[in-house]
Amino acid sequence: MRVLKLLFLSLVVASAWGIGAFTPGIAGGGGGIFVDVAANNPAYPYLRYLLDRGIISVGSSGEFHGDQPLSRFDGAVWLAKGMQYLEKKGTASVAGDIQGLSQRVDSLEVRLGNLERDVARNGQDIQTLKSSYASLNSRVGTLERQGVSQSQGIAQKAQMAFVLGVTGVILGLAALAMAIFF
């Protein structure tokens, strides 16, 4: 991790050192944070980033002097400030991450408790449904048995009514034939 921090800060210093190549010192003009760096300069957002984090500062003249070479003293100061910023940010970030994770764990515990209650309630509902199903299944069986016996009784009655009807017709025809012929 320390190697990454040093590499990052080296890149920051190298970038700041290279800024001189990109910002030849726009005198009087910037309209940005430095009087010699315009807000539309490609280096401006990086300078703003470093300034906001306290790694670089605006001099008393308000100029950045991007066209001047970076001294080893200034480079060492920027590098040390960058490392301090990263160390402070790392500690705050870890504390924030731990707090955020703690809140998420608490939230998950609450949700897990709710799920446990829901599962228990659903288990009870399933038992109730199983009982209802068994009861309904029993009633359907009873109705089916009654329906078979009733339909058998109805079929027998219909058959008997048909036989009696046919017998009645035959007897009526026989009586008519006797009346005509005798």
- Residue with structure tokens 């080893």? 72
Instruction: Kindly state the tokens that stand for 166.
Output: 């046919």
pLDDT, tens digit (0-9, with 9 covering 90-100), for 2-61? 544 554 555 555 554 444 434 333 334 445 678 888 889 898 999 998 988 888 888 788
3-state secondary structure at position 23: coil
The pLDDT of residue 17: 47
pLDDT, tens digit (0-9, with 9 covering 90-100), for 159-169? 888 888 888 88
The pLDDT of residue 19: 45
Classify residue 25 as left (phi > 0), alpha (psi -120 to 50) or beta. Answer: left
Question: Could you tell me if residue 118 is inside a domain?
Answer: no
Question: Could you tell me if residue 66 is inside a domain?
Answer: yes
Question: Could you tell me if residue 137 is inside a domain?
Answer: no
Question: Could you tell me if residue 115 is inside a domain?
Answer: no
Question: Could you tell me if residue 181 is inside a domain?
Answer: no
Average pLDDT of the residues in 60-89: 87
Question: Could you tell me if residue 36 is inside a domain?
Answer: yes
Question: Could you tell me if residue 154 is inside a domain?
Answer: no
Question: Could you tell me if residue 157 is inside a domain?
Answer: no
Domain count, the chain: 1
What range defines the domain where residue 49 resides?
2-70
Average pLDDT of the residues in 53-79: 87
